[in-house]
Every structure is written in C-alpha cells, then in structure tokens.
Structure 1
Amino acid sequence: MKALTRFVFFFLICCFRDSQAIVKLPRLISNGMVLQQLSRVKVWGWGAPAEKVSVTFNGQVYDTTTGEDGKWITTIATPKAGGPYEMKIKGTNELLVTNILVGEVWLCSGQSNMVLPLERVKEKYADVIAATDNPLIRHFFIPTRFDFNVPLDDFQSGRWETATPENILRFSATAYFFAKDIFEKYNVPVGLINASVGGTPVDAWISEDGLREFPGSLALLNQVKDSSYVNRIRRQENAVSREWYTRLRRNDEGMNGPVKWFEADYDASGWKTMNLPDFWDNQGLPNTKGVVWFRKEIEVPASMAGKAARFFMGRIVDSDSVYVNGRFVGTIGYQYPPRRYQIPEGLLKPGKNIIVARVINTSGRGGFIKDKNYEIRTADASINLAGLWQYKLGTRQEPLADVTFFQYKPAGLYNAMISPVINYGIKGVIWYQGESNTSNPSGYKSVFSSLIANWRQKWNQGDFPFIYVQLANFMETKSQPVESQWAQLREEQRLALGVTNTAMAVAIDAGEWNDIHPLDKQTIGKRLALAARKLAYDEQKLVSSGPLYQSMQIRKNKIVLSFSHTGSGLIAKGAQQLKHFAIAGADKKYVWANARIKGHKIIVWSHEVKQPLSVRYAWADNPASANLYNKEGLPASPFSTDLN
C-alpha cells in the first residue's frame, strides 16, 4: 500500500509538471493569421520556466528558451506575400498553426466609426457585400476590455475571420473598404487587427508612461486604479438605473391598463397627433423624459399583404419597442443604431394595419431623427411612415443620471487591447477617432501626437505609417461664421500632420448632419488607402490628399493663401465660386469672404474688412457648402490661419 501511495504521488507530480510545460500561444497567433511580409516578426507564448521551444516556419527552425516567468519569444523572417503556410511550435507539447498568409498587416483603432461593422451599412452597400468572397482579406476584432493596473499580454477571445459571406458583416466597414482597395491595388493578402471602442477619448489608448506629460490624465488613472472605488461607483449607478427603470415600468399607463396600448384593438381615438419625424418637445411635449407612445394607422394594399417586409424607423432617441398589429417586431436600446426590423410573413393584412412605437427617453431631446428612412418595404412596394402619428404620454420622469463609462478612462484600453498586440508585426495604423474629444478640443494635437509616439516606441518598428481620419461634417449648418469645437478639433488633427510619417483623410464631405455615424464608409476607406499608397507604399507621384493650407501673405486688403497637395490644380467643386471662406481683422470678427483661385493659390477678401489679418475655411460643425478641391477630386482640409 505504501509503495502504491508513493507511485500515485510521483505520478501526480509528473502530471503537474507536464501540465505546466504545455506551450501556449496568444490568440493573435492562431489559424488564419496574416503576417507582415518581408519582415522579421515576433512569435511568442508561454511555457514552463527554462523550457526549450522551437518554431518552424517556411523551412526554417528558430530555437528559444522560456524565461523564469515562463514567457518565450523569438523572431522569424517572413517571405514576400503569399501562402498559405503552416507554423509548428514545439516544446514539451507540439502546436500547429495553419492557413497562415503573408501580406500586409494594419492595426485599425479609434472609436465607434472604426468599430461600425458592415452590418450597419448593409442597405447602402448591398451590392458590394453580395459580391464579397475574398479569403485573402482577414479581420481580427478585439472585444472591449480595459485594465487600469497592468498591461495585459493576451485577449480573452477573438479569432481571425476571412472576408466571406458568412463573416463579412462583422468586419469594420471603414477597415474593410481600406483593405479592399489595398488588395485590389497590390494583389496581396491584407490582415486587419481591429482594436476600437465606441465613445472613447484619445488618452484611453495611451500607456501610463506615455501619459507622463498629462498630469490630469495621470491623476484620473490613479483614481480608477482603485478597484474598490470603481466597484462602488458601478454598484451605486446600477442601483439608480434599476430603480429608474423599475419605476418607469410601474408607472407606464400603456403597459399597466386592462388593454395594452400596443394592442391592435385598443381605442386611441382620444390621442393627440404629432408630425413625425421630429423631436417631441417641438410638438407638444417640451422637456419630457419618460415614455411616450406613438400609434399610426396605415393602409396596406393587397399586393403587400401577407408578405415578409422590412420595417425602417430611422433613428429614435433613446430606445424603442415596435409593434405591428399588436405583435412585437423589434427593439433597440440606445439612440445610435438605425431601426431596421423584420415583419414576418402573414402579419400584414390588406387594408387597415396598426403600427405602435413605445419610446423611452432618458435625457436630452426625445423623438425621431429627421432625414432618415421611415417606411415599410417589401421587394416590390413600400409605405411611407412619415407624417401624422397619434401620441400619448405613458409616464413622465426626471432625467436618468449619467453613468460612468470606465472604458473611457486613461490607459485602460491601451493595457487591455493594445498591449497584447505590440509584439505583432504591422505595416502601420489607420485611426478614426476624435468625436469624444470635441467637448475640449484644445490640446488634442499634443495628446494625439503623444499617442503616435507612444505606440511607435512600444512596437519598436521605427516610425511606421500612421494614417487617420479627420472628423466628418456633423450637426446642423449655420448661415453665418461661428465658433465651432468640431472645427477646432479638425484643426488640431490637421496640425498633427507635423508628426513624422503621418497622413490624414479629410471627411467633411462624407458625413451626415443628423448622424455621428455616417453611412459613407467607402469614401473614408478609399481615402485612407490612397494615403497609404503614398505614405506606406511609396507611390510618390500619387495625389493622395486634398489641398492643405501652408502659409498666407497679406497684400493690402487681401490675403493670399498657399497650399500643398494642390495636384493638377484647384477647383470650386460644383459651383462657379468658392464657398465657406471667412475673413477677419484685428477684432477677430469673421465675415463671409470672397475667394478666387489664382494658379495654385487662393486670394481672399471682403469689403467689410479693410485690414484683414486672418482667414478661416470650412470652420463649422457642418461646413456642408465648402467646395475647395483639387482636380483629382479630393477636398481641402478646413483650417484657420490665426491658430498656426
């Protein structure tokens, strides 16, 4: 018995040692990955301390040994673009990574406009999506995670996916259109590593040591390092939110009467009417938070009856639940996604049909966003839903208190979503972010420049290309020159071009006044790819940008502006005259100005300003009429001469 006990004891020890000796890989190094071509790239992982590990790739063997912490790393040489290849990793155990391509790898990062998947723009790009089946374009989406205390070395989930019909709707739309253009130009595999999170300010993506010049960010980071503080705030805010919604449900007359307001046979004859789409405080419900019910009777022709249909309800602030003939057809819990619901076969009937929307508004202005799609559509017919709707207040409540988005705090996303990537060889970065910094745009250039330097230092690949999107046009247009935080942020982005090996895609003609997430991601992706072709792939003769302001000269009552990237010439796109130039004297009071093209320069003046000192162009949240382009069709960046 004693001998058997000793045998079992030593057997268990050996099993424990073997389990500790299992070589493991990070999630990025997995089946279907894309490696940067013609480079020396790192392969890394974990094992037992002092364990010998070999990596075999493309006929070469690379040997290494784990350190005392069990980590190992080696550097391998990659050939020119091609594949598929296999990689064998051998320690005590053996791993095989298959279906590896070698090509161009780009890190895609920023906030929601980089997150936004092709699924959100599938109606606009239905033909592109239907034609997409390219296993040489691959996408690794990193799930949202943050950590304020330590840089992490791996992700909890994530995998490489190919641009096939089964996967394509999950790809970042901006990143996909970028990759599509790169692939079509160079015929090489393209790998996209997508580390992006909606709503995030720039300092969330910088490491702690990269924030040393920004004491405010460091102080905030030190505060949220205290997990007890974070957990306490979360518990308090969750309790407030639960209580608010519980009270809302309890007091909502539409859900608590003998007949629910969404039911088809409910008598709504006493309800008032409202013209939609619009905010409801414009039409009889000022300063109202809570639940408002909307109801509309429509006539369905026999040709549509019984058929499956798509139900488009534009965008709604904040959340909604929609019913057709008393049957629930869909819900969205926050304001930004488009409302696109499916009406099943057999639900629409010929003649009278009832549409009901229960809308919850927690803060700000509740209602339906204008200039969006409101219709029921079958394959061959549609019913317009805009116009008069009946409405009734379900319950009124005070605004719901704001919650703390901890993923927005400094360094948290760097630690959890960028740190695990820094060993992975990349060609460069494409970046789409800035909307969340518009409330305080001053100094964005400094923080953003620090992010670029921070990432380059961490990757230790030199000054790799960093290409970013300037903010698109957004919000309502103004008839007169005004101050604009969005314009200030765009100027900070333009000035960041002073950082080595950077480029910027101008987007002031690709936005939408009523949507912070414009649908036109193809234009953005193409302009990023155009910049990459020149900056990263050395097409030196390529005109890759619209005009960028360089300098000014005052000549009596006029200012002469000089530009780079004028291409084969400047034009006033779509009009006889240049628009959206403003001029000011010493008083800084800007007025609309005359502007004309003279060669590769622009002369600006106004009879109202006798001694001009500065000029602004496209200086607005939404400079929709701005029309300075080069002949290659690329828009000029907004600028202000008095901020340089």
Structure 2
Amino acid sequence: MYFKKLKFITLSILLLCTSPLFSQITLPKILGHNMVLQQQQKVPIWGTAAAGEKITVSFANQTKNTVTDQSGNWSVKLNAMKASFTPKDMTIKGKTTIVLKNILVGEVWLCSGQSNMEYAMRKYSKFQTAIKGNKPPEDDLNTAKNTNIRIFLDRRKYMDPNPEHTGWESAMGRPLVDFSAVGYYFAKDLYAKLNVPIGMISAAVPGSRIEPWIQSSKLEFEPKLKNGKILDKLNNDGGDSGKFYDTMIQPLIPFALKGMLWYQGESNCFLNENIRYTYKFKTLIESWRNDWQDKKLPFYFVQIAPYNYSASKDRPLTTETLPEFWEAQALALHLKNTAMISITDLVDNTADLHPGYKWEVGRRLSLVAANKAYHQKNVIYSGPVFQKMKIVNNTIEVSFSNIGSGLISRDGKPLDWFNIAGADGKFLPAKAEIKDNKVIVSSPEVQHPYSVRFGWNEAAQSNFINKEGLPAVPFRSDNPWEKLFK
C-alpha cells in the first residue's frame, strides 16, 4: 500500500512538472552564452514560458519585467547601451531561472547568401595559393585569438531552442574553421577600425537561389515597370520560396543588428535573370528590413565575380549574361542605405565559381561599413562608378563617382575593356584615356559615337581602378532598365 501511494505521489509530481503551469522558460537559439548585443539600440530579449507567467530580465544594471501572453510568448527590450569589453551575465527569471554568461556589447552584423558567403575558413589553404594581390597577413585559422570577435553559425537544421544556450563562440579554434571567411574578415577589419566587440551571424547555404531567402507570401506579386508593363508573377520562377527564410532568418528576428551583408546571385545568373532578379532582391531587402522594423537598416552586397557562364551546357547563356546580371544587382542601389562592392579583379581563373580572395572581399565590405554605417567619410569604399557621358565631337567623355584620390591604370598600360558604338548599336573595341579624372573614349571606326560600355563581358578583369586600388564597376550607358525600375 505504501509503495502504491508513493508511486501515485511521484506520478503526480511528474505530471505537474510537465504541465504548462510548470513549463520552463525557453529561449530562441540566437540568445545564448558568449553573444554580442548591439550597442546604441534597444535590444529585444524574448522567449516562451507558461501562459500568464511573470518574467524578469536583468542585465547591465537594467531590470525589465513582463508577463507572458495566452500563448506563453514574452518579450522585453533593454535600453540602449554603450559598447563594452567587460563580460556580463544576463539573468532571465520566471518560475525557473536562466543565466546567460560572458555577454559583450558592440556591433552585430548578419551575413547571408550562397556558397561564396558560406565559404568557410577551413579552405584557408586556397587563400594562400591566390596569385593576385596581397595574401592574408597572418594565418588566422591557426593564430586568431581575439575573444572580442564572436561568431554564430546559423545552421538550418539546428536552430531549435537549445537548453544549453550554446551557439555563440569566440572567433578562434574549431568554431572558426566552419565559419564564413567573408564574415570573419569583415569582423576582423571592422574591429581594427572601431575597437569595439563585433558579433557576426552567418546564415548562408551553398547553391541557394534568392527565392528561398524570401518569405513566400512576399513573392506573390507582379512587378510593374515605370512604362506600365507588368512582369509575370515572381513566384512563378519556383525555387522553394521561403525555405531558408523560415528555417534560418525568421528564428533570428528580432535580434538587434547594425546591418546586413549579402553575397549571392550565381544560381540566379545561371537562370539568365536580369530585371526579375532586381525585383526579388528589392523584395528581400525591404521585407527583411520590415521584419526588423527598421526601414533604414544598412544592407551591403557583393557584385558576383567574373565566371564562364556562357560555357554552361544546360542553358543558352552568352558572354553578356553576367554583365546583365551585374546590372540587375546594381539597380538595387536605388534603395536607401544600400552599397555594393565590385570584385572583378579577385579572380585567378574564370572557370572557378569560388575565387579564394575572401579576406579582400571581407575587407572591402568593411570599408563600406566604415564609410556608410559609421560615417568615416575619409574611407574610400568603392572603385569608379559610371555617372554620366557626354558626346564631344567624335569621342565620348565619361564621368565617374567614387574616383577616390584619382583614376589610374593598374598596370600603367592603356585602359582595357572599353567599347563604343554609333546609333547602329554595333559595339567595337575603343581607345580609352584618362584626362582630368574623366575617361575619353574613341574609335576611328565610329565617327559619330552614341553609347559606351565598360567591362561588358563575363571575363572582363580590367586594369581601370582608382588610386585606392578598387576596380571600376562594369556598366553600359544604354542600360534599358535604369529608367524603368521602380
């Protein structure tokens, strides 16, 4: 009789402990030990517990109280804080208590995209075989020891709440091996510029198109051009829309960020996309900003590298497929608080879809962030960008923005990859000379020039740069989409 009574009491206790009344506080995977919280912003902290449970969050001399709703959801916002190298603990208390340890306050960035963003530090040996430019100044994979750079690798199958509250790590040792090389080098260079803790979140999937990164419902529309023409519904392109958004981006919302980095496009370029990609890209940027409730959230991206798309046996692509895609990417610059880097010079072999210069890609993105997000206007972040053209007699005079300290030829030879055409639209190789920080383009075979193109070929790796060593961005003055995109 005694044992039956004891068994009944034990079972009753177990049932009570597993009922909603006694359910434990659960946190999203992104909230954990070793994380970095965004400085100078209100910082959301959120999770679940039993319905009607009182929750207290304490961190850095702040205490916030709330009560869960009928579904057990709760959230608070910590007041804006200054950057701090001093590790602190966060206590989250309800009927149970969670203590998150070793938390810093600094700058937090999300980097996303496909394989070139996912490209992990474990491929470091490929960096060392790069034949252009400077190699990484040190063997970061084996020598990195900065505990103030923290990383979070967003794995689509492992984003469920973790009772151990792990996920964030210092950027060193084994955790760094699998982390995005672009993300790490961005953080490393940004740390040197700002001297505050840096937190990087990497959410990238090799081979992914842009559609899986956009919430499915956001793609159900027909873009309308300025001339009134309506494009087919974007979602007709397929591509598993929302697949990675649902599993990798949504679980991060609304973790406080300073900005976003994007390196993707190769998979959509293989589909010969142009203006349709621009509208998808616009939708991604605007919808992610809306998710984070910040229409001004910085969004910086990489213009994909030269590659032999025309060699594809599956689709009828040409040497102009990639330049047209570059153009589609660049149209997104019409959105506020966006910026783009060009990497046409960072390729050793145009048959390699994954060039190894990831430290330089990360550095260039950090230049953008320094100039745009942190207002260091003395930092030059881009090579020459086409601004306007003017027909002068039998030449075309081309003006550029982002000239930096001046326009030059990288190797001292005449500028290459310029083409010029008359009204017939037949483009021919042209002579291009720098004069007063403009480029004068001409050809004896084109007596009445009408338009000009630069780098308009998938293999183009021009010697045209500014004195800061950043490459000019490919362009065509006869861009058919510039006046139609909205």
Contact 1:155 1:420 in 2 (8 A): no
Contact 2:49 2:73 in 1 (8 A): yes
Partner of 1:190: 198
- 2:465 pairs, out of 629, 635, 638, with 629
Mapped partners of 1:603, 1:8: distance in 2: 88
1:269-315 superposed Cα distances (whole Å, 9 cap, x missing partner): xxxxxxxxxxxxxxxxxxxxxxxxxxxxxxxxxxxxxxxxxxxxxxx
Partner of 1:276: none
1:129 alignment partner, SS class = helix
The change in CA–CA distance for 1:448 and 1:24 in structure 2 (over 3 A counts) is same
1:413 aligns with 2:244: yes
Mapped partners of 1:599, 1:96: distance in 2: 62
Q: TM-score, normalised by structure 1?
A: 0.66
Partner of 1:278: none
The change in CA–CA distance for 1:186 and 1:563 in structure 2 (over 3 A counts) is same
1:181 aligns with 2:183: no
Partner of 2:339: 503
Q: How does 1:71-220 map to 2 (within 5 A)?
A: 71-82=73-84, 83-122=86-125, 124=128, 125=136, 127-145=139-157, 159-214=167-222, 216-219=233-236
- 1:442 pairs, out of 264, 268, 274, with 274
> Kindly, what percent of the aligned residue pairs are identical?
39
Identify which range, 108-117 or 169-178, moves more after superposition.
Answer: 169-178
The change in CA–CA distance for 1:523 and 1:499 in structure 2 (over 3 A counts) is same
Contact 1:217 1:410 in 2 (8 A): no
More strand by share: 1
2:478 alignment partner, SS class = helix
Contact 1:220 1:410 in 2 (8 A): no
Shift, 1:527, TM fit:
0.4
Q: How does 1:298-447 map to 2 (within 5 A)?
A: 408-438=239-269, 439-443=271-275, 444-447=277-280
1:31 aligns with 2:33: yes
Shift, 1:155, TM fit:
8.4
Shift, 1:483, TM fit:
4.2
Shift, 1:211, TM fit:
1.2
Q: TM-score, normalised by structure 2?
A: 0.87
The alignment covers a number of residue pairs equal to: 449
2:148 alignment partner, SS class = strand
1:595 alignment partner, SS class = strand
Mapped partners of 1:67, 1:16: distance in 2: 19
| Structure possessing the higher radius of gyration over alpha carbons | 1
CA RMSD of aligned residues (A): 2.5
- 1:459 pairs, out of 282, 288, 292, with 292
Contact 1:84 1:99 in 2 (8 A): yes
Mapped partners of 1:421, 1:618: distance in 2: 39
Question: Which amino acid in the other structure matches residue 101 of structure 2?
Answer: T
1:550 aligns with 2:383: no
Mapped partners of 2:310, 2:212: distance in 1: 31
Which stretches in structure 2 are left out of the alignment for 5+ residues?
129-135, 223-231, 312-317
Contact 1:552 1:560 in 2 (8 A): yes
2:329 alignment partner, SS class = helix
Question: Which amino acid in the other structure matches residue 76 of structure 1?
Answer: L
Mapped partners of 2:338, 2:12: distance in 1: 60
Mapped partners of 2:333, 2:162: distance in 1: 32
Shift, 1:472, TM fit:
1.2
Shift, 1:21, TM fit:
2.3
Question: Which amino acid in the other structure matches residue 57 of structure 1?
Answer: F
1:178-215 superposed Cα distances (whole Å, 9 cap, x missing partner): 10000111111111111110111112111123213256
Mapped partners of 1:40, 1:207: distance in 2: 25
Mapped partners of 1:155, 1:12: distance in 2: 22
2:458 alignment partner, SS class = coil
1:504 alignment partner, SS class = strand
Partner of 2:361: 524
Partner of 1:301: none
Shift, 1:562, TM fit:
1.2
